[in-house]
Amino acid sequence: MKKLLVAASVLALTACSTPSEPQLSISPEPVIASQPLVQGKSMNLDSRDLRTAQFIAVVDSGRENVQPLHSNENLRTTLEDALSRQLTAQGYTIAKDSQGTLRLDILEAMVNVKHSVVSHDLSSKLQLQLVVETPKGKFVKRYSGKSARNGAMSASVQDMEQAMNNLITAVLKDIYADPELNAYIQENL
């Protein structure tokens, strides 16, 4: 019985010391306006992650060897924080007691990597939906982006991080520069 207990303890300690799966660090760069575009507009900011799978990357090394990779941070809170900083720089005030609400829905965020012996193909997809609800009505719009690249050898975690961060930053720029969204918020808040 003692031998079994010692063996189980050694096995448990060995399992704790094995390296964990790599994780991606997602840190997009929101657009920071040099001059506020609006004054006195206040909104509540909310977000939802509607993806069916919570991992952010899938690495396919062939022979049915597929490895999902997660983000170090919660993607929903990371994107909500980036959008909040962007809106604040535009002059909006984010407050829980506002009459208007801007909701960010994450519909898709994925980096797919296919490895072969000497190269890799990396493709990224992102789809976000913004829902603006005010006492005067509702505005819904989707923003999406795709990117693809290939390279020699296998893709690193940094390659995957860069692909997703660049894609999120590009979509945040689209949100910032969207005249339809900005006009709706300014007219209806």
Over residues 107-126, the pLDDT tens digits come to 999 999 998 878 889 999 99
* 3-state secondary structure at position 98: coil
Alpha helices in 42-189 (DSSP H): 75-90, 157-176, 179-188
Does pTM surpass 0.75? yes
Q: What is the pLDDT of residues 83-102, one digit of tens each?
A: 999 999 999 999 999 999 99
* CATH architecture for segment(s) 31-188: 3-Layer(aba) Sandwich (3.40)
In sequence order, the β-bridge partners of residue 104 are: 47, 130
